[in-house]
Amino acid sequence: MNDSPVLLAQDLVAQALATDARPVVRTFFDPETYTATHVVHDPASRRAAIIDPVLDFDPASGRTASHNADAVIAYVQGERLTVDWLLETHAHADHLSAAPYLKEALGGEIVIGQGIVGVQRVFVDILGEAAHVACDGSQFDRLVDDGDQFALGKIPAMALHVPNPP
């Protein structure tokens, strides 16, 4: 891994701490999948990101529900936040994503790392769906690379690729 994005990220954190520009983080835990959804916002601008949103899934029936996502929507609306980003940190084998549902309700761009394209290729081959699923990341609004920068209101943010350990 190239260390320059990590060094830049350290600088961004140091700058934020020096200016007291600290985000507010609210976590929603889903005991069924043992996963967490995070809502992060800039208290000054009320601009927000939702990270790894969970969509309820009942494996026995194959049905989905939106109880977890609806709690996130209630929080965002109650805090009068504007959602800019729906951030997926990885391809989810542990839960289904509520990002499209939340985008419809709250807006924002669905973002994931560029590496999703390779993951899509693996899964369409395994599932025999190559003729039906685009493997170009087009299901997302934005693909990011290691070191790509964006902002959460006035708070700078950066995508960092964190590979799985060997």
Q: Where are the domains of the chain?
A: 4-158
Question: Is 97:111 a contact under the CB 8 Å cutoff?
Answer: no
pLDDT at 92 over 80: no
Please enumerate in sequence order all residues whose Cβ is within 8 A of that of 146, keeping only pairs 6 or more positions apart, or say none.
1, 2, 5, 113, 159, 160, 161
Q: Does domain 4-158 have CATH number 3.60.15.10?
A: yes
pLDDT band at 165 (very low <50, low <70, confident <90, very high): low
The answer on pLDDT for 94 being more than 80 is no
Determine the Cα–Cα distance for residues 161 and 148; give it in Å rounded to an integer. 10
Residue-wise pLDDT tens digits, 13-53? 887 778 877 899 999 999 888 889 999 999 999 999 999 99
pTM of the predicted structure, to 2 decimals: 0.87
pLDDT reported for residue 2: 57
Task: Give 105-154 pLDDT, tens digit per residue.
Answer: 999 999 999 988 888 888 888 888 877 888 898 899 999 999 999 999 98
- Give residue 61's identity as a one-letter amino acid code: S
Question: CB of 69 within 8 A of CB of 23?
Answer: no
